[in-house]
Amino acid sequence: MNRVLEIAGLVKTFGGLTATDNVSLTVNSGEIHALIGPNGAGKSTLINQICGELQPNAGQIHLAGRDVTHLSAADRVGLGLGRTFQITSLLDEMTVRENLGLAIQAREGSNFHIFDRAATRSEVWNETDEILSGSALGARSKVMVGDLAHGEKKQLELLMALSQRPRVLLLDEPMAGLGHIESQQMIASLRAARSECAMLLVEHDMEAVFALADRISVLVYGRIIAAGTADEIRADPAVREAYLGEEDA
């Protein structure tokens, strides 16, 4: 399979603490690869290195075959690395459609002072409407973002991230704060989006992980202790003991 993201031997230390300890993993085209582990395992540190917000002490990161280990976060975005939480906030006083339209406009290289011009850019709004029509927010395009439920805001953030056309999308706990129905809707949205890009999913909701992931890597104390399919991870005694809370009989 075509590897869109490859991490090899990544090490990050903070004083005497080794936060990521020789971590290696790959994400293939069209794949959802889940990264799981208990709190304090080093997941956030690993993701921040992948994004370019932290520089590793050792190891390499390749995106679509290119070494991006020492590139800036912005350069990595330009090469196709997306992140759901790179969108820091939604514009509550604008509609769902307007928020998504602005994200698409930004992708084209314009700044956010485009309200007079965006109305004349029919291609932006045509793309916006096409994306919305096939989404869970299709009937909510004219609703003010401030009036959306939490799950709907998460759906909008996902659409905005996907509108940037990433090669690989990093998802940081997309199920956080969602009720059961909202979680099922997000699972359906992510499953549908896998045809658009590969994904590295960081998630504590194991139901979602097992429903979505083609492969799972388990991070404990900065090390990958197991990697494999959902069935392989379920059956791994080290994972059950270290993460799933079970002990070998």
- Give the domain extent around 110: 89-164
pLDDT over 80 at 110, yes or no: no
Could you tell me the CA-to-CA distances from 73 to 54, 55, 61, 88 in Å, in that order? 9, 10, 12, 15
What is the distance between the alpha carbons of residues 210 and 212, in angstroms, rounded to a whole number? 6
Residues 72 and 170 placed together within one structural domain of the fold: yes
Of 137, 164, 191, the one marking the end of a domain is: 164
pLDDT tens profile 159-169: 999 999 999 99
pLDDT-derived band at 40, boundaries 50, 70, 90: confident
49 and 105 fall within a common domain: no
Nearest to 5 by CA among 83, 67, 63, 87: 63
Kindly report whether the global pTM for this prediction surpasses the value 0.85: yes
Range in 11-15, 109-113, 122-126, 147-151 with the lowest mean pLDDT:
109-113
